[in-house]
A and B are shown apart, each in its own frame.
Chain A
Amino acid sequence: MPDASDLHSSAPPPQRRRWMAVLAKASVTELERAWASLQDRPGYRFLRPPECGLALVRGRIGGSGDPFNLGEMTLTRCAVVLDTDGATGFGYVAGRDARHAELAAAFDALMQCATRADAASAIDALGAAQRARRREAAQAAAATKVEFFTLARE
């Protein structure tokens, strides 16, 4: 359990990175449903209310070289503190949906509590759905795989 007075989470980054990615890539509808499915939904207050802005997106020269600035994308961020144990959660999500950032932050805070298996399984389900969608897209693309052959002159 994180220390309630500690703003920074003690959840190890690899796991936290994973669930934050799933939360960011989920749709707000999916997150609403997942939130509603929780056994009890703790209250929280905003440490930072949802705020919409930009992220400057970088690419790499030649795909793997030095970075360059490709363009910008919209980004919404939010930070919440749980009423129950003071755990802090952050939401950083592409787009301009305040509720998406808020729910992502709330789930992130909840995931700090080792006891919230329901939150963990809700996120697992979202992650599984995302993988399934990606698999479907990969299969649709794979169906367009071509074998070109050259016609040699006799």
Chain B
Amino acid sequence: MYVAVKGGERAIEAAHELLAQARRGDPQVPELTLQQVSGQLSLAVDRVMAEGSLYDRELAALAIKQARGDLIEAVFLLRAFRTTLPRLAVTRPIETGRMAPRRRISATFKDLPGGQMLGPTFDYTHRLLDFALAAGASAAPEPAGVPAEPGPMPRAPAAVDPAADVNGDARGPARALAFLDAEDLIERPPMTGSDDPPDITRDPLAFPAPRAARLQNLARGDEGFLLALGYSTQRGYGRTHPFAGEIRMGEVEVEIVPEELGFAIVIGEVTVTECDMVNQFAGSATEPARFTRGYGLAFGEGERKAMAMALVDRALRADQLGEDTGAPAQDQEFVLYHSDNVEASGFVQHLKLPHYVDFQSELNLIRRIRAGTPRAVAAEPEPAAAGEED
């Protein structure tokens, strides 16, 4: 039983003041600006937007500053803010195939049509601390390899190129797995024509959860949790033999169809990271064997997140694909009910709130046990179990 406590207002006020001081740090040091957070801690901002499930760089930067860099607290702040805003529109699905990628790699085909671009990656760095950064000596580096005189980029005419955006720019290299698809060696993404996916922020999860609901859950799920689960599948708890078929990161246009206009308009761009994972085969007496896939998509630059998500997405399909199940990553309820770090953090951290009455009853119980009065123990219902508020 949770019993409300009163009092402590002055202590709480003083604690919040202390928090504000701790947040500010040494007043001799200039205060962080949101532009600095957004520009120089951009991956923290991306993670907070992804798990906060709200794309707004400035708000995420503010949340990080306010939370003193505690990213889960920042996610919480962003989620809370989100509830204050009305939902004005639902976008058309973003078309990642038309992304102008800043990074695009494949671990399955070295000669990818359109080429592999490493982009701004930590891969192939030596992971040695760079003391030049500590000295603050990082003059903005020259943009790598940009020719002094940029040559004209060939552009397809808007009218004929179906992949062109509204400004007539052709975008997006072909998907790496397209030629596997041309040979019918890989399963196709589900295309039922449904255009009303479930929304787990409005309707509670029901099990078995459809894949669209699972992906929404994973997209806002905690990166650490998904990383560990994905890792567990690689180590044998629900093996899926994955290969990173294609990873791409870049900007995509977002479109809505306002009622008063009746046609689609672009409202802006978002940066996303996508991972198309290729996994071992499924087939049957009637269906030829085909590669299967797992899918990951995250707001911002979130490659580790997108990859882990793709692994877990694939693991959660074990049932549908007729594979052995039983590993944690294959268990829908286990995964989907524990992926949200705001819920998890709330429930774990509520343990520090006053539980004085609960604990009193436990204390009474153990005293009676120790006093050798088993009668009392057997006769009464366990007060803690019966009265626990959670």
Contact = CB atoms under 8 A, between A and B. Distances in A.
Interface stretch (B15-23, B27-35, B209-217, B224-232): B209-217
B238 interface: no
Interface residues of A, number: 64
Contacts of A93: 267-268
A134 B96 CA distance: 16
B254 interface: yes
Contacts of A55: 87-91, 254, 256, 267
Interface residues of B, number: 88
Contact of B56 (A13, A62, A74): A74
Interface in A118-154: 127, 130-131, 134-146, 148-150
Given A18-B167, A92-B265, A134-B169, A65 B56 contact: no
A140 B144 contact: yes
Contacts of B295: 61-63
B117 A141 contact: yes
A74 B59 contact: yes
A96 interface: yes
A71 B55 contact: yes
A74 to B, nearest CB: 4
B100 A137 contact: yes
B89 A56 contact: yes
A20 B266 CA distance: 7
Contacts of A56: 87, 89-91, 199
A72 interface: yes
Contacts of B96: 59-60, 63
B54 interface: yes
B144 A143 contact: yes
A58 interface: yes
Given A22-B167, A130-B167, A148-B116, A58 B93 contact: yes
Nearest to A20: B265
Given A135-B153, A138-B153, A17 B265 contact: yes
A56 B213 CA distance: 14
Nearest to B102: A141
Contacts of B192: 66
A139 B147 contact: yes
Given A131-B167, A140-B146, A70 B88 contact: no
B126 interface: no
A73 B153 CA distance: 31
Interface stretch (A32-40, A46-54, A109-117): A46-54
Contacts of B264: 17
A70 B219 contact: yes
Interface in B264-306: 264-270, 272, 274, 276, 293, 295, 297, 299
B367 interface: no
Contacts of B167: 18, 21-22, 127, 130-131
A57 interface: yes
A131 to B, nearest CB: 6
B265 A67 contact: no
B265 A21 contact: yes
A143 to B, nearest CB: 3
A14 B336 CA distance: 42
Tell which of A9, A24, A59 has the most Cβ of chain B within 10 Å: A59
A61 to B, nearest CB: 5
A127 B169 CA distance: 11
27 contacts: A9-B261, A17-B166, A21-B253, A54-B85, A54-B88, A55-B267, A59-B93, A62-B293, A64-B175, A66-B192, A71-B50, A71-B216, A71-B299, A72-B55, A72-B82, A73-B54, A92-B267, A94-B55, A94-B268, A95-B58, A96-B58, A130-B167, A136-B150, A139-B150, A142-B115, A144-B144, A145-B117
Can you list the 4 inter-chain pairs with the closest CB atoms, starting with the nearest?
A: A143-B145, A62-B189, A65-B189, A94-B268
Given A62-B276, A69-B197, A72-B53, 6 more contacts: A54-B85, A58-B93, A64-B191, A73-B254, A74-B55, A75-B267
Interface of A: 7-9, 13, 16-18, 20-22, 24-25, 51-75, 77, 79, 90, 92-96, 127, 130-131, 134-146, 148-150
Interface of B: 49-50, 53-56, 58-59, 82, 85-97, 100-103, 110, 115-119, 143-147, 150, 153, 165-169, 175, 188-195, 197-201, 211-213, 215-216, 219-220, 250, 253-254, 256, 258, 260-270, 272, 274, 276, 293, 295, 297, 299
